[in-house]
Amino acid sequence: MTTTIIETLETIDDLDLLISADSTSAYAHDRAVWAAYDVPVAVVRPRTTEQVRAVVAACIEHHTPVVTRGAGTGLSGGANATADAVVVSLEEMDQVLEVDVEHRLARVQPGLVNDNFRAALVEHDLWYPPDPASSPWSTIGGNVATNAGGMCCVKYGVTGDYVRELEVVTGTAEVVRLGRRTAKGVAGYDLRGLMVGSEGTLGIVTEVVVKLRPLPPEPTTVIGNFDSLEDAGRAVALIGASGVAPSLLELVDRGCLEAVDAWRNMGLASEADAVLIARSDAPGASGEQEVAELLRCFEEAGATYTAASTDAQESEALYAARQLAFPAMERLGVVLTEDICVPLSRVPDVLGQLRAIGDRHDVKLATIAHEGDGNLHPLLVTPPGDEAAGLRAQAAFDEIIQVALEAGGTVTGEHGIGLLKRDGLGRELSPAVARMHHAVKAALDPHGIFNPGKALPI
């Protein structure tokens, strides 16, 4: 008698297995709008690497797709399930396993929430810089899966810059370690780097070793109000050309400011069409020089108001305005989020084109951005249930992708390809490079079970 995938999963010792539709439906999708999904056949919540390995072996045996999930905060559909899939939720694997203060390393499980990890490091006077806007909820494993960035990455880099070593369950149900703890090492192919950003299509990460930094000094926050997005973009280009390295450089446009004001009454929208928020954490005299240069760039680009503050409470209030922008927009309707990245010199022009695209398609479009590295997040907002507006927003979404590519940019800076950007990736990559992607997938996932239909070019 042939066993089912459920029956085989039930034989795995102490595995938390969910099979009722009421339970599994909560794990069916991430936060991407208009990305297809279905309720999976089962959800497992392993607590050990061996349980993950056994689940993969069972799915190979039954030719069952595996969708790995962190906290479900993704914005590209990368964690969306199909009806025949088993979702592997890593939420129970959430421990800090080791902090090596001497070598500034930590070994953690993939379900550990980013902000919880950072809080645990404070007692050691250590810091993990990657800080996606979803850091209060997103997990280290999810951050690795998309090579997440964040607001500090303009100076400190993205997740992949901190990953030293990974423990991975492979497409043949083996447990391997990729990378090494040493500061240098070039033996063999960089399989660790290949796994970072692979969106669950090449294996399941069960442990992550990351490098850490000392806690930075309290930053000085610099703010600039601008009458246009183009002026704000020119300020960013000037900062890039100046050589200074702010620890944060974020843009919030009027549409987002109005949404934050309507929600939290912060009194920001009446003062500017766009606000740039910068931070300098350089110490002493070098920090003072950096702040002066940031103010100069703001003013030269036409800022109508500039200020610098070392007051922690005031700085956090400005920082909060940026963090609140996306949830504030979600209160206005259904939000389709873009994630393009363009060269700094093209930021002013592209910002102007974004607003024109919203007007042309009659879709509310507001923009937040990691301006310091050209990573722009246009937010397309439509009324719930308005199918015509949804179609217009999708058309605008496709046009934004084309604008990014024509500007010499990329279709995603940090959210990943998932389901929503596969066509855009196909436009970005040459046919030869697209074939290389598919060849890697076939080699490392020979049974084709890991997150099929995601992250690869069409």
Same domain, yes or no, for 75 and 191? no
Provide the H-helix boundaries in 331-417: 347-360, 387-406
pLDDT score of 320: 77
Domain of residue 85, CATH code: 3.30.43.10
Residue 119 lies in a domain: yes
pLDDT score of 318: 72
pLDDT in tens, 20-79: 999 999 999 999 988 999 999 999 999 999 999 999 999 999 999 999 999 999 999 999
Task: Name the β-bridge partners of 45.
Answer: 16
Residue 338 lies in a domain: yes
Q: Using CB atoms within 10 A of its CB, is residue 106 exposed (0-12), middle (13-18) or buried (19+)?
A: buried
* Rounded average pLDDT over 158-185: 97
**Residue 80 above 80 pLDDT?**
yes
Same domain, yes or no, for 298 and 233? yes
Residue 443 lies in a domain: no
Residue 440 lies in a domain: no
* Rounded average pLDDT over 273-290: 92
* Rounded average pLDDT over 288-292: 95
List of E strands, 26-78: 42-45, 66-69
* Rounded average pLDDT over 261-274: 78
SS3 420: coil
Same domain, yes or no, for 227 and 350? yes
Residue 84 lies in a domain: yes
* Rounded average pLDDT over 377-382: 96
Residues 6+ apart with CB under 8 A from 163: 144, 179, 192, 196, 208, 209, 210
Cα–Cα distances in angstroms (integers) from residue 241 to residues 114, 151, 158, 222, 298, in the given order: 32, 20, 21, 18, 13
**Residue 404 above 70 pLDDT?**
yes
**Residue 1 above 60 pLDDT?**
no
Nearest to 53 by CA among 112, 117, 9, 96: 9
Q: Cα(4)–Cα(10) distance, rounded to whole angstroms? A: 10
* Rounded average pLDDT over 4-24: 97
Residues of the chain above pLDDT 70, percent = 99
Same domain, yes or no, for 102 and 17? no
Residue 442 lies in a domain: no
Residue 452 lies in a domain: no
Q: Is the dihedral of CA 133, 139, 140, 145 positive or negative?
A: negative
Determine the distance from the C-alpha atom of residue 63 to the mean position of all C-alpha atoms in its chain, rounded to a whole number: 30
Cα–Cα distances in angstroms (integers) from residue 325 to residues 136, 257, 446, in the given order: 15, 7, 42
Domain of residue 236, CATH code: 3.40.462.10
**Residue 193 above 70 pLDDT?**
yes
* Rounded average pLDDT over 321-327: 83
CA dihedral 269, 275, 279, 280 (to 10 degrees): -140
Residues of the chain above pLDDT 90, percent = 86
Pick the residue with more confidence: 351 or 319? 351
Cα–Cα distances in angstroms (integers) from residue 415 to residues 21, 30, 43, 65, 152, in the given order: 28, 12, 24, 22, 16
Contact 419, 402 (CB under 8 A): no
Provide the H-helix boundaries in 266-386: 284-300, 312-330, 347-360
Same domain, yes or no, for 104 and 160? yes
Q: What amino acid is encoded at 286 in this protein?
A: S
Same domain, yes or no, for 239 and 202? no
346-359 burial: b if 16+ Cβ within 10 Å, else e: bbbebbebbbebbe
Provide the H-helix boundaries in 246-311: 254-264, 284-300
Of 114-118, 124-128, 132-136, 208-212, the poorest mean pLDDT is in: 132-136
Domain boundary among 214, 246, 263: 214
Q: What residues make up the domain containing 120?
A: 96-214
Q: Cα(81)–Cα(453) distance, rounded to whole angstroms? A: 10
User: What pTM was computed for the model?
Assistant: 0.94
Of 19-33, 271-285, 313-327, the poorest mean pLDDT is in: 313-327
Nearest to 70 by CA among 163, 152, 141: 141
- Tokens encoding 418: 């998932």
Contact 303, 235 (CB under 8 A): yes
Domain boundary among 71, 89, 107: 89
Same domain, yes or no, for 107 and 133? yes
pLDDT band at 270 (very low <50, low <70, confident <90, very high): low
Same domain, yes or no, for 28 and 12? yes
Residues 6+ apart with CB under 8 A from 44: 9, 15, 16, 17, 18, 51, 55, 86, 87, 88, 89
Residues 6+ apart with CB under 8 A from 84: 40, 41, 64, 65
Q: Using CB atoms within 10 A of its CB, is residue 287 exposed (0-12), middle (13-18) or buried (19+)?
A: middle
Q: What is the CA radius of gyration of the chain?
A: 22
* Rounded average pLDDT over 194-217: 97
pLDDT score of 319: 75
pLDDT band at 265 (very low <50, low <70, confident <90, very high): confident
**Residue 263 above 70 pLDDT?**
yes
Domain boundary among 173, 196, 214: 214
Q: In this structure, how many other beta carbons lie within 10 angstroms of the beta carbon of residue 419?
A: 22
Same domain, yes or no, for 159 and 203? yes
Q: Cα(98)–Cα(106) distance, rounded to whole angstroms? A: 5
* Residue 137 backbone phi and psi in degrees, to 5: -130, -30
Q: In this structure, how many other beta carbons lie within 10 angstroms of the beta carbon of residue 47?
A: 17
**Residue 234 above 80 pLDDT?**
yes
Cα–Cα distances in angstroms (integers) from residue 400 to residues 16, 203, 337, 380, in the given order: 42, 31, 11, 11
Domain of residue 120, CATH code: 3.30.465.10
Residue 291 lies in a domain: yes
pLDDT band at 290 (very low <50, low <70, confident <90, very high): very high
Q: How many domains does the chain have?
A: 3
Same domain, yes or no, for 401 and 292? yes
- Tokens encoding 333: 């309707």
87 torsion bin: left (phi>0), alpha (psi -120 to 50), beta (else): beta
- Tokens encoding 150: 């964040």
Same domain, yes or no, for 272 and 394? yes
pLDDT score of 266: 74
pLDDT score of 269: 64
Same domain, yes or no, for 174 and 230? no
pLDDT score of 312: 72
pLDDT score of 335: 94
